[in-house]
């Protein structure tokens, strides 16, 4: 599955919304400036982890998709390719990213949001390895509640449509079944995301260094 071995080419797509008003659900814990600072640190950490995975041979491409020019500039400085999102909404933006990486030769994709504080080259590599065992396949990392989708791997890239949003775990699994694709889930650190004040407290009390504050 590694790109360096000449096998399946896996591209990571990192979707990012606007920095202004980001992570509004954390508004009870962080003000607007603090939320923006958090998002910028998570963006940098996620891009660097993905680029490390590319260097290690797990990924062949790292693309950041966002409608925000500031996000794209920061991602570009970190070393990622970027794509200005023209459509509205997460799933539509992911479709734009998918078209871009497929045009570049990707044979599988990995969707890696930036709200995963424990993202790392190793964690990304584990999902890529699981995806390598399926063809066609859908690999998913759910959230702690077991209802959302934190990371999604698709092989080939267009095997199912994107269904991020409420109940996405069930939706992605049903789509995989309808497409006749193998379906698997990966446990581990990527199950932790930053979506609510409770998530933030959990990370701050157990591993503040993951947020760049410890």
Residue 213's pLDDT band (boundaries 50, 70, 90)?
A: very low
Residue 31's pLDDT band (boundaries 50, 70, 90)?
A: confident
Q: Give SS3 for 151.
A: strand
pLDDT of residue 115: 92
Give 58-103 pLDDT, tens digit per residue.
999 999 999 999 999 999 999 999 999 999 999 999 999 999 999 9
Closest to 144 in 3D by CA, of 118, 110, 175, 181 = 118
State residue 145 phi and psi, 5-degree precision. Answer: -75, -15
Whether the pLDDT of residue 33 is over 70: the answer is yes
Instruction: Provide the pairing of β-strand 108-111 with 10-15.
Output: parallel
Q: Ramachandran region of residue 106, left (φ > 0), alpha (ψ -120 to 50) or beta?
A: beta
- In the β-sheet with 81-84, what is the strand arrangement from edge to edge? 81-84, 61-66, 10-15, 108-111, 149-155, 137-142, 182-185
Give 147-188 pLDDT, tens digit per residue.
999 999 999 999 999 999 999 999 999 999 999 999 999 999
Domains of the chain: 3-211 (3.90.550.10)
Give 162-171 pLDDT, tens digit per residue.
999 999 999 9
Closest to 14 in 3D by CA, of 120, 151, 147, 137 = 151
Q: How far is CA 87 from CA 26, 95, 124, 133, in A?
A: 25, 9, 27, 33
Instruction: Tell me the percentage of the chain whose pLDDT exceeds 90.
Output: 76
pLDDT of residue 1: 54
Q: Could you give the CA distance from residue 6 to residue 87 in angstroms, rounded to a whole number?
A: 34
Q: Could you give the CA distance from residue 70 to residue 28 in angstroms, rounded to a whole number?
A: 25
Q: Hey, which residues does 142 pair with through a beta bridge? A: 149
Instruction: Provide the pairing of β-strand 137-142 with 149-155.
Output: antiparallel
Q: Using the 8-state DSSP alphabet, how is residue 138 labeled?
A: E
pLDDT of residue 204: 76
Q: Could you give the CA distance from residue 111 to residue 78 in angstroms, rounded to a whole number?
A: 18
Closest to 105 in 3D by CA, of 181, 157, 50, 55 = 157
């Amino acid at each position: 599955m590694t790109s360096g071995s000449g096998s399946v080419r896996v591209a990571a797509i990192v979707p990012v919304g606007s920095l202004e008003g980001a992570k509004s659900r954390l508004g009870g814990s962080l003000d607007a400036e603090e939320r923006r600072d958090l998002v910028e640190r998570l963006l940098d950490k996620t891009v660097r982890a993905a680029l490390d995975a590319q260097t290690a041979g797990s990924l062949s491409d790292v693309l950041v998709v966002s409608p925000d020019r500031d996000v794209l500039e920061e991602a570009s400085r970190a070393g990622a390719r970027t794509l200005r999102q023209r459509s509205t909404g997460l799933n539509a933006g992911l479709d734009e990213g998918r078209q871009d990486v497929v045009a570049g030769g990707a044979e599988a994709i990995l969707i890696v949001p930036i709200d995963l504080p424990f993202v790392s080259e190793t964690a990304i590599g584990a999902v890529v390895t699981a995806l390598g065992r399926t063809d066609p396949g859908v690999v998913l990392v759910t959230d702690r509640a077991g209802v959302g989708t934190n990371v999604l791997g698709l092989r080939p890239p267009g095997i199912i449509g994107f269904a991020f949003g409420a109940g996405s775990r069930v939706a992605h699994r049903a789509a995989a079944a309808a497409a006749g694709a193998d379906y698997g889930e990966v446990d581990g650190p990527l199950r932790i995301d930053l979506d609510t004040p409770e998530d933030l407290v959990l990370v701050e009390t157990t591993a503040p260094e993951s947020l760049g504050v410890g």
